Amino acid sequence: MTIEKNLQTKISDVELTDLEEICRHEHISKREALREAIDDWIKKKKGFDADDPLFRDDPLSIEIEKNAGQVDEVVYQRQEDSCD
């Protein structure tokens, strides 16, 4: 069961105008924008998630080197062809 709470705060006229302008541009409600802002702020303050596979899994450096070599072959082959 999710319990939702309402939050209230005061913002300046300039902040409100900017918020409304961006919401119109992004086609989202102010409520959605504020939820996104809160979510981003929480993630920023908590830091990275050590359980995220991006930080947990070992990179396949052998495959990366192999693929990088293949890219070099394609790039340099094209350069040699264009120089002829």
Give the tens place of pLDDT for each residue, 7-50.
Answer: 999 999 999 999 999 999 999 999 999 999 999 999 889 887 77
Q: Are residues 42 and 69 in the same domain?
A: no
Q: Are residues 43 and 20 in the same domain?
A: yes
Amino acid at 17: T
Q: What total of structural domains would you count in the chain?
A: 2
User: 62 and 72 in contact (C-beta within 8 Å)?
Assistant: no
Whether 4 is covered by a domain: the verdict is no
Task: Give the side-chain half-sphere CA count within 13 A for 64.
Answer: 4
Rounded to an integer, what distance in angstroms lies between the CA atom of residue 3 and that of residue 44? Answer: 23
Whether 42 is covered by a domain: the verdict is yes
Q: Is the pTM of this model over 0.85?
A: no
Residue ranges making up the domain that contains 40: 11-47
